[in-house]
Structure 1
Amino acid sequence: MFCDRFSSQLGSKLLEVNYVNLYAPPVDEQDPRATRTGINVFMFPTWFLAQVKETWYDTKTKKTFRTRPLLPWGNLVSGQYLNSEKKKVPVVPVRFVQACVKGHISDIHWYAFVHNDSENKCRGQLCLDEGGSGNDFAEIYVHCECKKRRPLADATVRNGKVLVPCQGHRPWLGSFAQQPFCIRESTGLPEYNRLLVRSASNAYFSQILSVISLPDSDAALQKAVNSVYEDFLKKITTLEQLTLVKSLMSKVATNLEGFSNEVVWQEIQRRQNGQVNQHKSIKQVEIETLLSSPVVVGEDIPEGDFYARARDVSSLKPKFASCIERIVLVHRLREVIAQVGFTRFEAEMPDIDGELDISVRRAALDIETTWVPAIENKGEGVFIAFRKEVIEDWLK
């Protein structure tokens, strides 16, 4: 468990809990005598295709299709298909399922689909017919022994409402994790399922947040201002007065060493106006820390999380010194990456500030989120801050 600032912000804003723990995956145990570890899983999908070698010739299209029995788990015998000769045949999970944009996923109601009627009571043997390479939906059919046959391409029509409304199934959490309502917020109408290939790239998009472990510059600033606020800073009304006080009072200059006059003045104004600390984005905190940090930040130790030194830009060549305001050489840093949820069909990535849109239809990792999986990367880097007037010229 690590990175308290990150976990508290992540929990309160995105996951709507007071605090969420971050845990790294367990290390694989190499000792064969050690206790076995692993992850419990639920079976999904629950429909399977028997691996029979049969073909069927369609006289209308004049094409040959590979046809395989489509079976629910309950119709299998010891996990295998029992054919007409009473021989057991291996099965594989069907690769077609249905899902909605909120992340819910479930088996296709194959009987309702092939009969085009959710009320139909026929429970004849179903088969999946695949022509060609099996990747063209127009050449994949589902047929029932009652002679009903339907192309899978019918389920690919966008907003066609061919598949049943989403029932909120979350099989990765178990059979009792179904959410009772799946409504499209913009219309108030039920959200319909879409056809999804389990192995397709749009089946699962991890939603992750990353943050660099940095010293909390706000906490250090507030502590420094606290030490001299009542005696020297409380009645200051302008930035010029602050500059004068720092030049005349050695105690003020010493206690505020490492912080720019502008940053200190902002903190004084916040206190005088009675403002509470505003929420800052992940990237904003990182930028402010690197811009306002002292010359040396952190400790240069092997297991340290952060160690950086600001380079003296006055020694740069004039053409570079005129453009660059600050250079920070980060010798050690730690990046924490946590998965907060996932989406289907469409990826939702963090914005330029490193924040995720709280209105995104994110699928939860658990019923009650108390922790999320996280990893850490350690490395190094260089931070370069360009002068504001230079950036404005570039943008013109």
Structure 2
Amino acid sequence: MSQTRSSSGRAPEPTRIGGLRPSQMIHTFGPGAVVDLPSMSVVVGGIDGWNIHDTALIAEARLLDSVRSLPGCARVSELRSPPWMEESPNPYQQWAWVGVPVFPFPRWMRCTGCSRLAPVDYRLFSLEVNRYRPDRSYWYHDMCQGRRPHVVPTRFMVACANGHLDDFPWVEYVHQGGSCPNGPPVLELREAGQANRAADVRVICKSCGAQRMAHEAFGDQAWRNLPRCRGRHPHLHQFEDGCQESPRALLLGASNSWFSISRSALTIPTDASRTDEIDQKVEERWDDLLDIEERVVLDYVFNRLRAGRGEEQRLWLLDYDPDDIWETIERRRIRIPGTEDNENEAEETDLRGPEWRAFANPEPLQTDDFKVRHLPVPEGFENTLDTPIAVDRLREVIALCGFTRIDGPDDAGVATRIAPLWTESPTWLPAAETRGEGLLIRLSEPQVQAWETSFERDPRYQQIVEAHRGWRTRRGLEPQLAEPRARFLLLHSLAHMLIHQVALDCGYSTASLRERLYSRTPDEGDPMAGVLLYTASPDSEGTLGGLVALAEPDRLASTLRDALNRAGLCSTDPMCADHLADEAQDTLHHAACHACMFVPETSCEHGNRYLDRATVVPTLSTPDLAYFI
């Protein structure tokens, strides 16, 4: 990460102040997110300020077609990795100049010596940079009581559900919405009482004597004590007019200050019905061919390879005829939006359907990024399961498309509130690719249809649907959109049970395991009923096979039985078993809690919502609705 620092009469120069992993820039600290460093805090700048020459192209055509359907992404033609280079002990090598721009935020800071509260723009504070240890860089108040005490960011900021973020309005807040009557305000921030809470601080105006406790800015009616949202996007250095959302005070580091909106796709063979080896190889190795845009370039590459001077990763080209390779490249070339009609747009934006067909194909095609095996159904589960699938090799690409604040992205209607990553309409998006292994559990479609017909008539299902509608209505969203179907509740609950059990059996932590749900009823299209549990790593070799080993019939049977037995009784029962969804309390789950079903945010696609143990196994309060009896 590099902070932009300007000096009088000079152009801004980057200053390295820390580091992030590329995957963190997609999941946790993307553009618009506040990064709380040891001695300062910063907001990550928009992607239009990233140096595209420090990024690498990532090929995944299906995902690219899908992200174009999101608001503001119609012109996206590329997916690229965030700028990153491996560090070395020498801070004067090239890696030290590769990074993403960040800016001080909150801009209001407090001197630890005199408690003076002022923004960076007042130039009261200076930045000390440690080039050899960027994490030790800090702001200081020069000549404060004859010393140079550290300056720390204030722990408060304001945000709204439209994705805006702003500094806490200290001047307006302490003066009850007005300004200081005695001229320029001089503010101090001091602890009050025992300071048991972060908000137990008092802001004081030394110019006029006004003072106010910070905790008055928090609570259900606290928006009355705050000015209207200014529509600020600090990562883009711009303001949007006309925001009608009420701002909310947040603590620095609050988990609801930034939620990534991303889309992911697994790399699958181009078409389960095609067997053309060249087509599959070009699809699989598309990263090696992205820069070959003319036939003369391809001929040059072949000539260098034959002479032994070409790149090693392209040696596979020599196994094929150049004419066939060029013809396949032209067919495969990623299309730029607006240059060509997309006849299969609806199909290409369906990410899960093609993956399900590739997995379920009786004779699945195999590539370096997609290797699967169909295994026998475990003994004792012949009536409830379909053929399980061991996924020996998979590749996942995740693209960051935007972000939200306050409310998480698991809500289907949140697309109307996506905050932008850019100032103008982007032509590329940041993405990350990982490789790993997995296990696909498929349920018997006839059995699932019979079960969901019965479950959807039960008041228990209707109650979670009503809670879903009320929860969305309170947020001004279409209440009947994205209603959870019965099979989705079943699959989601089963996935969480298996994540906990697999973590015990194969040694992975629950945070390193992820779910990918394939849920679709017959009236929505080709039916799907399956759960993919997988783990992936940015390393090109992927993971070590501990998860896929559980797919063997004997081990899978044992894992399933243990998971179902553990889920039948929770340590917090009967409270957990009796719990029902309640939109007033923001709980969209029935029998589920941290002791039995909840998993880390990195593992769940839906924020631990829409869970119910009773759909999978009998519970103390609901013994007769379970799929597995």
Same fold (TM over 0.5): yes
Q: Give secondary structure in 1 for the equivalent of 2:228.
A: coil
Q: Deviations over 1:308-359 (max 9, x none)?
A: 2334x5xx67854454443333221111122222222222227xxxxx5453
| 1:45 counterpart residue number | 106
Change (3 A) 1:318 1:43: closer
Which residue of 2 is the match for residue 365 of structure 1? 421
Q: What SS does the aligned partner of 2:104 have?
A: coil
Match of 1:282 in 2: 351
Matched to 2:440, the amino acid is: F
Deviation at 1:24, TM superposition (A): 2.2
Distance (whole Å) between structure 2 residues aligned to residue 319 and residue 84 of structure 1: 75
- Which of residues 248, 251, 256 in structure 2 aligns to 1:202? 256
Assess if the C-alpha contact under 8 Å between 1:327 and 1:383 holds in 2: yes
Q: Could you tell me which amino acid in structure 1 is paired with residue 258 of structure 2?
A: Y
Output the CA distance in 2 between the equivalents of 1:128 and 1:317. 64
| DSSP-derived class of the 2:448 partner | helix
2:187 aligns with one of 122, 126, 131:
126
Once the 2 structures are TM-superposed, how far is the Cα of residue 47 of structure 1 from its aligned partner?
1.3
In 2, the alpha carbon distance for the partners of 1:163 and 1:391 equals: 51
Which amino acid is the alignment partner of residue 197 of structure 2?
Answer: D
5+ residue gaps in structure 1?
A: 54-67, 183-189, 222-274, 351-355
Match of 1:156 among 213, 218, 228: 218
Q: For 1:389 and 1:10, how far apart are their aligned partners in 2? A: 34
**For the residues of structure 1 that align with 2:205 and 2:264, how far apart are their CA atoms?**
50
Could you say which structure has the larger radius of gyration? 1
Which structure has more relative contact order (CA 8 Å, sep 6+)? It is: 1
Residue in structure 1 matched with residue 497 of structure 2 by the alignment: none
Alignment check: 8 A CA contact 1:12 1:18 kept = no
Structure with more of its chain in strand, by fraction: 1
Report the 3-state secondary structure (helix = DSSP H, G, I; strand = E; otherwise coil) of the residue aligned with 1:298.
Answer: coil
In 1, Cα distance between equivalents of 2:394 and 2:198? 49
Paired letter, 1:108: F
SS at match of 2:68: helix
* Matching residue's letter, 2:355: E
- Measured after TM superposition, the shift of residue 392 of structure 1 is 3.2
Amino acid corresponding to residue 105 of structure 1 in structure 2: L
Confirm or deny: 8 A CA contact 2:63 2:263 kept in the other structure.
Answer: no
Query: Alpha carbons of 1:142 and 1:83: their partners in 2 closer, same or farther (altered >3 Å)?
Result: farther
Per mean C-alpha deviation after superposition, the further-off stretch among 191-200 and 8-17 is 8-17
Q: Which residue of 349, 356, 370 corresponds with 1:306?
A: 370
Tell me, in whole angstroms, the C-alpha distance in 2 between the residues paired with 1:277 and 1:219: 19
Task: Quote the residue 2:365 is aligned against.
Answer: 297
Structure-1 residue corresponding to 2:154 = 94
Say which of 165, 168, 191 aligns to 1:105.
165
2:152 aligns to what SS in structure 1? strand
Out of 103, 124, 148, the position equivalent to 1:76 is 124
TM-score (norm 2): 0.44
Correspondence list, 1:213-362, <5 A: 213-217=267-271, 220=274, 278-279=346-347, 281-291=350-360, 293-299=361-367, 304-311=368-375, 313=376, 320-349=381-410, 357=413, 359-362=415-418
Q: Name the CA distance, whole Å, in 1 between partners of 2:378 and 2:245.
A: 61
What residue identity is the alignment partner of 2:366?
Answer: G
TM-score, normalised via structure 1 length: 0.68
Q: 1:31 to 1:324 in 2, by over 3 A?
A: same
What CA distance in whole angstroms lies between the structure 1 residues aligned with 2:404 and 2:450?
40
Q: Cα–Cα, structure 1 residues 15 and 220, in superposed 2: closer, same or farther, change >3 Å?
A: farther
Deviation of the 1:380 alpha carbon: 2.0
Q: 1:134 to 1:364 in 2, by over 3 A?
A: farther
Percent identity of the aligned residues?
Answer: 28
Distance 1:277 1:39 in 2: 33
- The Cα of 1:217 is off from its aligned counterpart by 3.8
> How many aligned positions are there?
307
Call closer, same or farther: CA 1:343–1:210 in 2, change over 3 Å. Answer: same
